[in-house]
């Protein structure tokens, strides 16, 4: 097989170029305060740009599945243009406007336009990867989706350097241009295996929303939603939770500066680790059972430790909190990477892009509910984080029930 026409150059590398670009959406916390200060708005108001980006990611993926199935080159080019334009447009509104006009412009560019690029770009390489790595579907999707998770760890120091030396708006210009080049190269390289022909059966495809009547698909959608919702509820308040756990300790500053990079690494490792593990299992749904069970156990331990310490900070509670964030991040990433392989196991490869896109609508909705649930709980409980743990523990238990009763085991 030609060096220019194999699974690495036609699937893995282009997928990484696409996902390492769009995955930088999770760097939002790196510059949201700088944006708020620059345009004269609150961080809470500006924060809705991130929520909108995740919402449009999920919704665009849900409705673009059919297009991706038919033409990955069209979809990868649209993703490249939308994501880059969204980045550059955000920089323009930050530099030349302020107040509510700037805020609405950022919502449009970062939230809507870039969000559409995110969703289509996330979905586009997945089926191609599974076709090239037909015997290792979990590994294939894990490689790509790990790139999405690693993007934060790679891009954060670069963003901080550019922002500190050239300003927030120039950061968006430089990175917008850089990611256009990366994604365009990925667009040129991406190619399905020779001989693979997509079935053109629009009547059979019909309205994909009917899949929500299927018990198995609905169960997968719900457990995927719960995993993301709970993950975002904890991950987006990571620094604040660590601040409570280590409050008054001499190592607080060090912990807050180091631990987010550690958890980001485990998020990425969970993406490739859990999906690769699923290749070795007779039943891929077992991975979700492991994720929910481990999250349930560590959340319960964290709650018990918090209660024993009477809500006071301690090194023991702090260590448990770090372990909690590591486990949640790993499971959060693993849920993403295992999803497409689980869907292909249950429903086959023919319409996997459409099914995967529809399932990603759970991500879009969780992007609106996860961090906002935490914010609501904190506002109602005088900034008490243990209530967030109680809420997520209850949801993890529900997720485990759905995993067992609705998704169950694959049929022969």
Answer whether residue 135 shows pLDDT above 60. Answer: yes
CATH of 1-191, one of 1.20.1250.20, 2.40.30.10, 1.10.390.10, 3.40.5.90: 1.20.1250.20
Contact between 123 and 356 under an 8 Å Cβ cutoff? The reply is yes
Which tokens go with 72? 């990955």
The three-state secondary structure class of 360 is coil
Euclidean distance between CA atoms 388 and 230, whole angstroms:
9
pLDDT of residue 382: 77
Give the residue ranges of DSSP H helices in 348-360: 352-359
Contact between 333 and 269 under an 8 Å Cβ cutoff? The reply is yes
Confirm whether 1-191 and 210-412 share one CATH topology: yes
- In whole angstroms, how large is the CA radius of gyration of the chain? 21
pLDDT of residue 165: 95
What global pTM score does this model have?
Answer: 0.85
Euclidean distance between CA atoms 370 and 395, whole angstroms:
11
CB atoms within 10 A of CB 298: 22
Answer whether residue 244 shows pLDDT above 90. Answer: no
Contact between 254 and 318 under an 8 Å Cβ cutoff? The reply is no
Contact between 338 and 145 under an 8 Å Cβ cutoff? The reply is no
Q: What is the DSSP string of 33-46?
A: HHHHHHHT--HHHH
Between the alpha carbon of residue 296 and those of residues 106, 204, 362, the distances in Å are 37, 40, 21
Domain positions in the chain are: 1-191, 210-412
The string of pLDDT tens digits covering residues 205-239 is 557 788 899 999 999 999 999 999 999 999 878 87
pLDDT of residue 258: 84
Contact between 20 and 182 under an 8 Å Cβ cutoff? The reply is yes
Give the residue ranges of DSSP H helices in 209-347: 215-235, 238-245, 252-279, 285-308, 315-347
Angle at CA 410, nearest 5°, toward 406 and 412? Answer: 140
The three-state secondary structure class of 284 is coil
Once rounded to an integer, what is the mean pLDDT over residues 74-82?
A: 96
CB atoms within 10 A of CB 12: 22
pLDDT band at 69 (very low <50, low <70, confident <90, very high): confident
pLDDT of residue 400: 96
Euclidean distance between CA atoms 196 and 128, whole angstroms:
10
**Three-class secondary structure assignment of 114-166:** HHHHHHHHHHHHHHHHHHHCCCCHHHHHHHHHHHHHHHHHHHHHHHHHHHHHH
Answer whether residue 103 shows pLDDT above 70. Answer: yes
CATH topology of domain 210-412: Growth Hormone; Chain: A; (1.20.1250)
Which tokens go with 166? 């050239």
Contact between 127 and 349 under an 8 Å Cβ cutoff? The reply is yes
Once rounded to an integer, what is the mean pLDDT over residues 366-389?
A: 85
Any idea how long the chain is? Answer: 412
pLDDT of residue 136: 83
The three-state secondary structure class of 199 is coil
Answer whether residue 273 shows pLDDT above 60. Answer: yes
The string of pLDDT tens digits covering residues 171-214 is 999 999 999 999 999 999 999 888 777 766 555 555 778 889 99
């Amino acid at each position: 097989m030609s060096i220019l026409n194999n699974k690495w150059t036609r699937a893995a590398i282009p997928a990484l170029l696409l996902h390492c670009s769009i995955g930088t959406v999770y760097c939002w916390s790196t510059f949201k305060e700088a944006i708020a200060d620059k345009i004269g708005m609150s961080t809470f108001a500006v924060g809705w740009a991130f929520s909108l980006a995740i919402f449009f990611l999920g919704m665009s993926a849900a409705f673009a599945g059919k297009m991706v199935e038919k033409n990955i080159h069209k979809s990868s080019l649209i993703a490249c243009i939308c994501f880059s334009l969204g980045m550059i447009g955000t920089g323009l509104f930050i530099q030349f406007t302020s107040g509510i006009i700037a805020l609405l412009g950022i919502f449009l560019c970062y939230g809507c336009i870039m969000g559409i690029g995110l969703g289509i770009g996330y979905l586009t390489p997945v089926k191609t990867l599974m076709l090239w790595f037909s015997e290792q579907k979990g590994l294939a999707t894990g490689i790509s989706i790990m790139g999405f998770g690693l993007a934060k760890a790679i891009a954060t120091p670069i963003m901080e350097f550019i922002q500190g030396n050239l300003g927030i708006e120039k950061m968006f210009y430089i990175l917008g241009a850089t990611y256009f080049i990366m994604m365009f190269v990925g667009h040129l390289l991406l190619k399905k295996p020779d001989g693979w022909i997509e079935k053109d059966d629009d009547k059979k495809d019909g309205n994909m929303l009917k899949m929500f009547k299927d018990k198995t698909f609905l169960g997968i959608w719900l457990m995927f939603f719960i995993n993301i919702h709970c993950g975002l509820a904890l991950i987006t308040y990571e620094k604040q939770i660590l601040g409570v756990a280590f409050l008054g300790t001499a190592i607080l500053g060090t912990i807050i500066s180091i631990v987010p990079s550690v958890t980001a690494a485990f998020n990425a490792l969970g993406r490739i680790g859990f999906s690769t593990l699923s290749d070795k299992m007779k039943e891929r749904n077992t991975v979700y059972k492991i994720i929910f069970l481990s999250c349930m156990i560590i959340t319960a331990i964290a709650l018990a430790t918090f209660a024993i310490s009477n809500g006071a900070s301690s090194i023991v509670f702090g260590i448990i909190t770090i372990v909690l964030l590591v486990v949640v991040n790993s499971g959060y990433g693993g849920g993403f990477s295992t999803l497409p392989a689980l869907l292909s196991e249950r429903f086959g490869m023919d319409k996997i892009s459409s099914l995967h896109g529809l399932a990603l609508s759970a991500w879009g909705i969780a992007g609106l509910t996860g961090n906002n649930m935490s914010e609501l709980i904190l506002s109602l409980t005088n900034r008490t984080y243990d209530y967030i743990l109680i809420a997520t523990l209850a949801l993890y238990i529900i997720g485990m029930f759905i995993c067992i009763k609705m998704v169950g085991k694959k049929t022969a």
